[in-house]
Amino acid sequence: MPHLLQWLLTAHGYDVLGFADAASFIDGNHLAAIGCSLIDLRLGRDSGIEVLQASRRRGHDAPAIMISAYGDIPTAVRAVQLGAFSFIEKPIDNDKLLREVDAACRRHVEICRHYGRAADALRKFGGLTEREAEVFWLLVGGAATKEIAAKLTISLRTAETHRGRVFDKFETQGLDDIVQAAFHLRDLFG
């Protein structure tokens, strides 16, 4: 992060972590932190879109504000599809940036309160077998156990067993928790 942006955000009360490169950001961002990420679309030889994808796969669920001097509509759309909160073009309007950072941080609080944390959802989803993952997505889509059995051409008893394992691995008794976890997983695996 350029020192000027870091200074601006710090001066407005934000705790700021700057990273020298994409790998440092992906490995060093704190999964438990509440806030947002500022990611430049061009990071030397790395693409900001690829960095956003990699950070999402690691469980980073903070809204990302993408920054670029070379913004185009397809790139902005792709960034938003991957969960980017907004897209700011250079030269950066400081007031607009501060408004976006404030809104993104507030959104992250809402996401965590309503959907839990992405790292937890990823850990639980990673424990599913391939068949259980299929059942997970059918459950998220609203399929009843009988429909799951028919769609996967398995017996009702086998569908019930897989459904039970999904619930066990997600440590829940209710479908709401499964659907909430899907919020973090949909763009990566859905």
Q: What is the pLDDT of residue 76?
A: 76
Same domain, 173 and 149: yes
Q: What is the pLDDT of residue 143?
A: 97
Give the residue from 77, 98, 115 where a domain finishes. 115
Q: What is the pLDDT of residue 190?
A: 60
Which residue stretches of the chain have pLDDT < 70?
Answer: 1-2, 71, 190
Q: What is the pLDDT of residue 103?
A: 98
Q: How many domains does the chain have?
A: 2
Q: What is the pLDDT of residue 72?
A: 72
Same domain, 49 and 107: yes
Same domain, 106 and 141: no
pLDDT tens column, 12-57: 999 999 888 888 999 888 889 999 999 988 877 888 888 998 999 9
CA distances from 83 to 37, 89, 131 (A): 11, 17, 27
> Residue 101 belongs to what domain range?
3-115
- Could you give the CA distance from residue 150 to residue 76 in angstroms, rounded to a whole number? 40
Same domain, 101 and 136: no
Q: Could you tell me the CATH number of the domain that includes residue 109? A: 3.40.50.2300
182-187: long-range contacts, CB 8 A cutoff, minimum separation 24: 182/121, 182/136, 182/137, 182/140, 183/111, 183/114, 183/115, 183/121, 184/61, 184/115, 184/116, 184/117, 184/118, 184/121, 184/122, 185/121, 185/122, 185/125, 186/140, 187/56, 187/81, 187/82, 187/83
Q: What is the pLDDT of residue 1?
A: 53
If residue 114 lies in a helix (H) or strand (E), which one and from where to where?
Answer: helix 94-115
Q: What is the pLDDT of residue 21?
A: 84
Q: Compute the half-sphere exposure of residue 14: CA atoms within 13 Å on the CB side of its CA.
A: 26
Q: What is the pLDDT of residue 71?
A: 67
CB under 8 Å to 20, separation ≥6 — which residues?
Answer: none
Same domain, 170 and 80: no
